Amino acid sequence: MGILLDVVRVDAKPDYTLFLAFENGEKRVFDMTPLMDKKPFVQLKGSPLFTKASVDYGTVVWPGNIDIAPETLYDRSLPV
């Protein structure tokens, strides 16, 4: 199990990358491309909704009750 850190800010780009800020001050980038053909993220593929990502209770969420766990974001992202 990864480190449990809340996301405090997200900036979603049209190329399916998420620029993230975590509560410990780290800034990281997460590539959503490998997940975009999988449920539930396939609903966001090719849609302007992807860039509507926001932070809710420490995790990244999208319209339509789509979210991704903060520990996944942290463990699979790269520092910037």
Contacts of 10 (CB under 8 A, 6+ apart): 18, 19, 20, 21, 53, 54, 55, 60
Task: Kindly state the average pLDDT of the residues 71-76.
Answer: 95
Tens of pLDDT, residues 29-43: 999 999 999 999 999
Task: Kindly state the average pLDDT of the residues 9-26.
Answer: 97
Tell me the sheet residues that pair with 22.
7
Is this structure's pTM higher than 0.85?
Answer: yes
Band of pLDDT at residue 1, cut at 50, 70 and 90:
very low
